[in-house]
Structure 1
Amino acid sequence: MSTLDRYLEAATRANTRRSYAGAVRHFEVEWGGFLPATADAVARYLADHAEKLAINTLKQRLAALALWHREQGFPDPTKAPVVRKVLKGIQALHPAREKQAVPLQIDQLAQVGAWLDQSIATSRQQNNRAAELRHCRDKALLLIGFWRGFRGDELMRLQVEFIELVPGQGMSCFLPRSKSDRALRGRTVRVPALARLCPVEAYRDWIAVAGLTAGPVLRGVDRWGRIRSGGLHASSLIPILRRLFAAAGLAAPEGFSSHSLRRGFAGWANANGWDVKTLMEYVGWRDVKSAMRYIDAADPFAGMLAEAGAGTPLRLPGD
């Protein structure tokens, strides 16, 4: 690969490149379309998959086709009125409710944290190094992911050499790249030191027991207690969390995903009086719309429902 190609490849996230390549392949190979494509062909492609693919998936396919045409110097057929009209019609006839991850509540975080503490202590008593390492790693993953509201890929890309412990304050983490950092400037975020469920303490314990001095923070551990040199892949986060939550006794662990930590923190911050602007700056959201997708609105009837449950007649406003 030439130096030029290396820089061009670095300009696009690896996950995005793979996703877009798969979308173009689906259009050309599996559906049988021709590239460069006409607007009519793209419109037929959308219509053929309207009942099979989610609207967000169709939009992603359009973005991939648009990028291919721009990079090859061809007119972009996805901007044609017929394509936009077909997409609008699909949204009208096949409305889909957006699926959201179940937020991890603070009491659930405490339950899982307590289970991990007990499991770490037990594994040390039994001299089970592999179990000790996995539990220490999972505790760091859980608490850092929750209290920073990290995206899954941000959490998995943390590097030891980019983390600095700040006595009495917490630690700072430099993220060379993240989804919201379109200019690729990188950003430094701070992780707080807390009296309980402390992410800094969990990180320090994991680094110490694993003996890590550089490279990925979160790594695989084999059955013999050997730590892998490469970092965990973002796709492994959901299985790790669900397995951890099931072991800790949380109900319906299959409902949780990598976004559960982010949504859980956003809900906790909202309930504790954080304003939206502060939350956006802390988590790294670019706009209010993104933030509001993670915040559940308070139930205005919660107080009256509680009174009714205590034996007080439920009265609606105006009664």
Structure 2
Amino acid sequence: MTAVDRYVEAATRENTRRSYQSAIRHFELEWGGFLPASADAIAQYLADHAESLSVNTLRARLAALAQWHQTQGFPDPTKAPHVRKVLKGIAALHPATEKRAKPMQLTQRETLAVWLDGQIAQASDERSRLAYVRNRALVILGFWRGFHSDELSRLRIEHVTVEAGRGMTLFLPRTKVDRGHLGTTFKAPALSRLCPVTAYEAWFAASGLTEGFVFRSIDRWGNISDEGLHAASFVPLLRNLFREAELPAPDSYSSHSLRRGFAT
């Protein structure tokens, strides 16, 4: 990989990169398209999937195809007026209500935190205790700062500063809204109830970690991984927690529930 390629790769978020790769595979392998593609082929691809994919998904597929053509030095067929008219027609004939993650309300977060406290106190093995302590920190900190799942997965210990009794500062080198790639600093307060600082410190002390990723997987023997939790693991993790804590409609929650709950 050349220096230029390395910097180009660094400019694209990992989730976006995976999404683009998946879209290209779908176009070539599943649909049978050829790259570079013509505007007519792109329009036909949209038409063939108008009823099976949402408009937002089709827009994402177009973005991936546009990026492939641009980086390979070919004219971008997705910008053709014919393609844009087809997409506009699909949006008119197949309107869809956007599915949004159910926000996690304060009372639900409190219910979950209390349940986790009980599980920590009753844990019969070290692996379970560590997992519950980690999950409590993840839920409380994620809620208070409204983090995306990929932001929580990339949070590092060396970028967290705790002032006992006052609060904590967290730095993320890259966030979804940080278009200039300058990094973003977040603050979380010390609270008397459901405190993100206390929850983080409890996980920090229990894990014995001193550097690297804050939130990590734990194997069946209680060994903590060197790598951070994968962003895609947050949805099943949260839904399992909601289900075990007997919160209603657990499958309606996702990692965005923390962020939407924070926003509301």
Task: State the TM-score, normalized to the length of structure 1.
Answer: 0.81
The match for 1:22 is 22
The match for 2:190 is 193
**Deviation of the 1:192 alpha carbon:** 1.3
Ranges in structure 2 where 5+ consecutive residues have no aligned partner: none
Q: Distance in 2 between matches of 1:222 and 1:206?
A: 16
The match for 1:228 is 225
- Aligned pairs for 1:117-156 (under 5 A) are 117-123=117-123, 126=124, 128-156=125-153
The match for 1:260 is 257
Secondary structure of the corresponding residue to residue 143 of structure 1:
helix
The amino acid of 2:235's aligned partner reads I
Q: Distance in 1 between matches of 2:262 and 2:39?
A: 43
The match for 1:97 is 97
The amino acid of 1:100's aligned partner reads R
The alignment's C-alpha RMSD in Å is 1.1
Q: Which segment drifts farther, 24-33 or 229-238?
A: 24-33
Q: Distance in 1 between matches of 2:17 and 2:223?
A: 32
**Deviation of the 1:35 alpha carbon:** 1.8
**Deviation of the 1:30 alpha carbon:** 2.1
Larger radius of gyration: 1
Q: Distance in 2 between matches of 1:192 and 1:72?
A: 47
Q: After superposition, what is the alpha-carbon deviation per residue over 1:72-101, rounded to whole angstroms, capped at 9, x for unaligned?
A: 222111111111110011011110000011
The match for 1:31 is 31
The match for 1:52 is 52
Secondary structure of the corresponding residue to residue 22 of structure 1:
helix
**Deviation of the 1:5 alpha carbon:** 2.4
**Deviation of the 1:34 alpha carbon:** 2.1
1:157 and 2:154 matched: yes
Q: After superposition, what is the alpha-carbon deviation per residue over 1:197-221, rounded to whole angstroms, capped at 9, x for unaligned?
A: 0111000000101001001100111
Task: State the TM-score, normalized to the length of structure 2.
Answer: 0.97
Which structure has more relative contact order (CA 8 Å, sep 6+)? It is: 2
Secondary structure of the corresponding residue to residue 99 of structure 1:
coil
Q: Distance in 1 between matches of 2:155 and 2:251?
A: 26
Q: Distance in 2 between matches of 1:116 and 1:182?
A: 37
Q: Choose which of 176, 193, 200 in structure 2 pairs with 1:203.
A: 200
The match for 1:170 is 167
1:213 and 2:210 matched: yes
The match for 2:245 is 248
Secondary structure of the corresponding residue to residue 175 of structure 2:
coil
Q: After superposition, what is the alpha-carbon deviation per residue over 1:162-192, rounded to whole angstroms, capped at 9, x for unaligned?
A: 0001233211001001111111110111011
The match for 1:274 is none
Q: Distance in 2 between matches of 1:18 and 1:103?
A: 26
Q: After superposition, what is the alpha-carbon deviation per residue over 1:228-251, rounded to whole angstroms, capped at 9, x for unaligned?
A: 111100111011111111111211
Ranges in structure 1 where 5+ consecutive residues have no aligned partner: 268-319
The amino acid of 2:101's aligned partner reads A
**Deviation of the 1:262 alpha carbon:** 1.0
The amino acid of 1:138's aligned partner reads N
The amino acid of 1:259's aligned partner reads H
**Deviation of the 1:3 alpha carbon:** 3.0
**Deviation of the 1:71 alpha carbon:** 1.2
Percent pairwise identity: 61
Q: Distance in 1 between matches of 2:220 and 2:30?
A: 40
Q: After superposition, what is the alpha-carbon deviation per residue over 1:27-54, rounded to whole angstroms, capped at 9, x for unaligned?
A: 2232222222111111111001101111
Q: Distance in 2 between matches of 1:34 and 1:239?
A: 35
Q: After superposition, what is the alpha-carbon deviation per residue over 1:99-123, rounded to whole angstroms, capped at 9, x for unaligned?
A: 0111111111111111111111112
Q: Distance in 2 between matches of 1:156 and 1:171?
A: 18
